[in-house]
Structure 1
Amino acid sequence: MPPAADDPATRTALAAHQAGALRWLGGGAIAVVLGVLLGAAAGPLVDDGRTVPGLGLAVIVLVLVGLVGVGAGTGALLRTIRWRRALAVTPWQIGRLRIAGPAVIAFEPEGYDELDPTAEPVRLRLLSTAVWRTRAVQGLDGGEVRAAPVGGGQWVLGADGLPTLYGARTTRR
């Protein structure tokens, strides 16, 4: 079987994931820079005895929110790189997706027999807690999906018609 990264839809989804990561990273960096610049501009105002209500709070919020954005963007960018490397050597497995809870899913690979007492589906928990991502995956309940292990107990899920990939971590029962 060819590696998952050979699929044009997979390459497009990875590029979209990377673009989102770069947006978070860039937006966070811009917010930090604006917070620092605003703080530097506030210095002369305070020296002159003038005050601007809420200026200090705005500086703190910009820097903190920016740092969160930088962290989220960096994490997503590293995840994209790890996924790209893993999918370059790992083929997609086709199977059915079953929803077991809000962010808990089970992947039943092709050939899975639910009547076989020794057969176990791959139990996963979504990495993202974003409501829209969780709902998008829940909409795939009973549908055919592609999944691939990417190491460290993590899997990547995709399906026809979805513009992105979803990360999940294996769980116990």
Structure 2
Amino acid sequence: MPCDDDVVQPAADDPHTRTALEGYRAGALRWLVGGAIAVVLAVLLGAVAVSLADDRGRPVPLAGLVVVALTVGGACAVAAGLGALARATRWRRALSAVPWQRGLLRIAGPAIVAFEPEGYDEWDPDDEPVRLRLVSTSVWRTRQVQALDGGEVRAAPVGGGQWVLTAEGLPTLFGARTARRPR
């Protein structure tokens, strides 16, 4: 008869995971709202520039360039925010079904890491670490993961060759995909 200690807790039930997911989601909302604000500012600036050009009889210098930059940058930020929100929702659903695996993180390159789950035996030729490539293109997020080299992390597969990583004290989650084995 199994005791309560044998019950495996889904990763999403962990308070740290809930906090990290909310941190990730908050970042996504910042991107989304910031992008929307940039697009609204572009529309308003465009309207003011057209009005001033009508009154003065000549165009406002650089107004068109600023409007285009705000529109393109805002649209990209909105897309990034929507993508991150979708990822946070997918991760929350996946983490409700799987437990965290504890292990060590080894850095193998700028965005390549190896996760060695508990029980990993480096001397066993049949035992291999999980090789992952970070999904983030942000330099600061990549450096944050690189700082964990040799440290204990928690990882969980979230489907389709994708994994989520976190560690104690980190306010967010990091996405990664399984990487091909180097030849």
Same fold (TM over 0.5): yes
* RMSD over aligned Cα atoms: 0.9
SS in 2 for 1:140: coil
Residue 105 of structure 1 pairs with residue 113 of structure 2: yes
Tell me the TM-score normalized by structure 2. Answer: 0.92
Question: Match for residue 167 of structure 2?
Answer: 159
Question: Match for residue 80 of structure 1?
Answer: 88
Question: Match for residue 10 of structure 1?
Answer: 17
| The one of 62, 72, 76 aligned to 1:68 | 76
State the shift of 1:44 in Å. Answer: 2.5
Question: Match for residue 4 of structure 2?
Answer: none
| d(CA) in 2 for partners of 1:131, 1:44 | 41
Give the residue type in structure 2 aligned to 1:155.
W
| d(CA) in 1 for partners of 2:116, 2:44 | 53
SS in 1 for 2:180: coil
Question: Match for residue 103 of structure 2?
Answer: 95
Corresponding residue pairs, total: 173
Residue 139 of structure 1 pairs with residue 147 of structure 2: yes
Gaps of 5+ in 1: none
State the shift of 1:133 in Å. Answer: 1.1
SS in 1 for 2:53: helix
Query: Could you list the per-position Cα deviations for residues 45-74 of structure 1 after superposition, in whole angstroms to 9, with x for gaps in the alignment?
Result: 333413221111110011011001101101
Contact 2:50 2:59 in 1 (8 A): no
What percent of counterpart residues are identical? 72
Gaps of 5+ in 2: 1-7
SS in 2 for 1:102: coil
Q: Which runs of 4+ in 1 moved over 3 A?
A: none
